[in-house]
Chain A
Amino acid sequence: MRTDTADVEQPAADPAFQYLSLGRKLKNNAATVVFTAAFLIAVVPLLWVLVTLLQRGLPPLLNADWWNHSFYGLLPSDFGGGIYHALVGTIEQALVCALFSVPLGVTVGIFLIEYGQNSRLAKTATFMVDILSGLPSIVAGLFIYALWITTFGFDRSGFAVSLSLVLLMLPLVVRTTETMLRIVPDELREASYALGVPKWKTILKVVLPTALSGIVTGVMLGLARIMGETAPLLILVGYSRAINFNLFEGPMASLPLTVYTARKTSTEAGEYRMWGAALTLVLLIMLINLLATLISKFFAVKTK
């Protein structure tokens, strides 16, 4: 005797769904191959750079002197010494640059989103920021040279470098602030207004804290980017093998400048310094990116 369940297992009509056709299987496989290959092609140079950097740059870094000594008193052909002077220079120049770019850039971003909206001033500012963000770093260097050194008559210095880096970092900070403020929902602003909170206080206490995580991340990434800039350094400050804490006076080393200078001395020690400084720079930038992730997690809006 046939049961009802047996009937259910027998299809009553032709199946509505067909098997995957051979053509589609082939196309799928071909696409998979193409995408995987593109990924590998993109990743190989990246890994290659990292491996080369580690191979050649790691030995100097394993020496304790590398982190707390300069090259002061050493000949270009001497091994030993360290990168401390260049770390000091890079970090000081970047921090002073941030000191100018961050307040200025965040303020401009707030103006553009919260006050300017579609005013002519805001449109002009946006246009200028667009131009600035496409500015080649060598031009930023030349401009500061013409303004700060030729026109105002100051000496070449680490501070001049900081000024040129401001031109490069400012558009990054403005952009980040704009983007982050734009994604703060208007409902939050309205909720605050409806409580009788003035606009400036709404921006300061409601809008900015909500956007803070993104702004801080953007600033850190901008900082990481300008640390690797080299062109303005070549124009605006002399290289020094000694430690110089003073941004306003005398030659000052930095990591990119050390790489550049060491490459010019065609000695084995020069190569040792060059790769060491290059790896140090990459590690410093990686550290900052890592810090950016941590900071953004710390400031992120919490839901638990």
Chain B
Amino acid sequence: MAKRLDIKDLNLHYGKFHAVEDVTLQVQARSVTSFIGPSGCGKSTVLRALNRMHEVIAGARVDGKVLLDGEDIYAPSVDPVQVRRTIGMVFQRANPFPTMSIRDNVVAGLKLTGEKNKKKLDEITERSLRSANLWEEVKDRLHKPGGSLSGGQQQRLCIARATAVQPDVLLMDEPCSALDPISTLAIEDLIAELKKDYTIVIVTHNMQQAARVSDQTAFFNLRAVGEPGQLVEIEETGKLFSNPNQKATEDYISGRFG
């Protein structure tokens, strides 16, 4: 079940470094939200804070609230492991588990949390690989290592792996930055399909990609190097790219930045 996200007054730190300042935004269920902005503006950091991956880094700190259908994922009683189960993530670089086969990679999240029913795992393997548009390419070699696939296939494998645990929200951190245009297109098509079932937040450096795939776009910026990143504006994608509210957004999307 897709759920909505409400981010309220989010402040993120790495040790003493204030990385992101006062972010407040909403993400609707079954929609795609893009985060764009220059390097170092904190968009990936915000994304990682949405499934409590930010705190994995030593010294990292989170202030503020992230509500998943009204429930604060940073409430003291909440187990971060369960949060990550509910809010999945796809990383910039495809990272299939090198010791596992294609099939085991897909169902890794289930197997490692105790699911043993082979028939069920096989069903989920096929369903997840189909939804990642990878089934036809790998169905005859499911027992081969995940590392034997091409870069684009590996990234789709990672998406299949993330959807196999049926999260409510799918976070994607520049999922196409290491891929060629054809694999990128395959993943963008996939995002459009996944939108029917999932809430998706995607960080991208590619503004055309943001324009193509997302319903709303958030532009992040930082005043200067060393200053915290901020959310400049969040707007319906068509409006943000054609008629942004802020001068900084217009400068950035038209390439007149800095």
Interface presence of B244 (CB below 8 A)? no
Interface presence of B93 (CB below 8 A)? yes
* Cα–Cα, bound, A304→B161 (Å): 20
Residues of the A chain whose Cβ atoms lie less than 8 Å from the Cβ of B96? 191
Chain A's closest residue to B51 (CB) is A194
Instruction: Number of A interface residues at 8 Å Cβ cutoff, please give it.
Output: 26
* Cα–Cα, bound, A223→B89 (Å): 42
Assuming the contacts A117-B58, A188-B97, asked whether A194 and B147 have C-beta atoms less than 8 A apart, the reply is: no
Interface presence of A249 (CB below 8 A)? no
Residue pair A195, B95 in contact (C-beta under 8 Å): no
* Cα–Cα, bound, A302→B149 (Å): 12
Interface presence of A201 (CB below 8 A)? yes
Residue pair B53, A304 in contact (C-beta under 8 Å): no
* Cα–Cα, bound, A250→B158 (Å): 60
Residues of the A chain whose Cβ atoms lie less than 8 Å from the Cβ of B91? 187, 190-191, 194
Interface presence of B242 (CB below 8 A)? no
> Which residues between 109 and 167 of chain B lie within 8 Å of chain A, taking CB atoms?
109, 112-113, 144-145, 147-148, 158, 161-162, 165
Interface presence of B56 (CB below 8 A)? yes
Residue pair A196, B145 in contact (C-beta under 8 Å): no
Assuming the contacts A187-B93, A188-B95, A206-B97, asked whether A196 and B165 have C-beta atoms less than 8 A apart, the reply is: yes
Residue pair A304, B81 in contact (C-beta under 8 Å): no
Residues of the A chain whose Cβ atoms lie less than 8 Å from the Cβ of B89? 190, 194
Residue pair B88, A194 in contact (C-beta under 8 Å): yes
Contact pick for B113, options A118, A185, A189, A197, CB 8 Å: A197
**In the complex, what's the smallest C-beta–C-beta distance from B255 to chain A, in angstroms?**
32
Residue pair B145, A192 in contact (C-beta under 8 Å): no
Contact pick for B112, options A185, A190, A201, CB 8 Å: A201
* Cα–Cα, bound, A303→B150 (Å): 11
Chain A's closest residue to B80 (CB) is A193
Residues of the B chain whose Cβ atoms lie less than 8 Å from the Cβ of A189? 56
Residues of the B chain whose Cβ atoms lie less than 8 Å from the Cβ of A289? none
Residue pair A304, B144 in contact (C-beta under 8 Å): yes
Assuming the contacts A195-B112, A198-B81, asked whether A190 and B53 have C-beta atoms less than 8 A apart, the reply is: yes
Sample 14 A-B pairs with CB under 8 A, ordered by A number: A118-B58, A187-B91, A187-B93, A190-B89, A190-B95, A193-B53, A194-B84, A196-B84, A197-B113, A202-B112, A206-B112, A212-B99, A301-B98, A304-B144
Residues of A within 8 A of B (CB): 117-118, 185, 187-198, 201-202, 205-206, 209-210, 212, 301-304
Nearest 8 A/B pairs, CB to CB: A196-B85, A195-B109, A194-B89, A209-B99, A187-B95, A301-B98, A303-B147, A197-B112
